[in-house]
Amino acid sequence: MLQIANLLKENHLKVTPQRIAIFKILYTSTEHPSAEQIYKDLQPTHPTMSLATVYKTLDTLKKSGLIQEFNVGEDCFRYDANVNTHPHMICLECHQVFDLHTDKLNNLRDYVKDETDFNITYEKVFFYGTCAECNKS
């Protein structure tokens, strides 16, 4: 909890119970939840927190660079506290988002830059398919 409060302070954000609770869910999870899922997860411990507060807090955290936001094609955004460049895999059946842990793509940015002479600011890599669990069905 203290580590999260310090991260918020370092990014010049006011430390509030709501911000700590929302960021903690993202910081301690690899599930890439939606705002609605975060809201549902916080209801037992923060019953007075509104969905609007969740959305506003996520926007603030995104603008400060503490989280990233991406659309996985289900008409809602997902959130990730791991802001380091890393690829994701998205299941087209269940819409789960998985981090792809591999070193094989580490040089992708350099390769693209060398091949195209394009000045890359950032990259996001997504692979779409069917996860192992959905493949069993």
| Residue of 33, 123, 40 whose CA lies nearest to 79 | 33
Domain boundaries, the chain: 2-80, 88-136
Fold of 88-136: Dna Ligase; domain 1 (3.30.1490)
| pLDDT at residue 84, rounded to an integer | 86
pTM for the predicted model, two decimal places? 0.85
Which whole-number Å values give the CA distances from 71 to 3, 119, 128, in the listed order? Answer: 28, 24, 12
Choose the CATH number for 2-80 among 3.40.50.970, 1.10.10.60, 1.10.10.10, 3.60.110.10. 1.10.10.10
d(CA 51, CA 93): 26
Reported as a single tens digit per residue, the pLDDT across 9-67 is 999 999 999 999 999 999 999 899 999 999 999 999 999 999 999 999 999 999 999 99
3-state secondary structure of 71: strand
Reported as a single tens digit per residue, the pLDDT across 75-123 is 779 999 999 888 999 998 988 899 998 888 878 888 888 899 888 888 8
Q: How many CB atoms lie within 10 A of CB 112?
A: 13
Helix (H) or strand (E) holding 62: helix 51-63
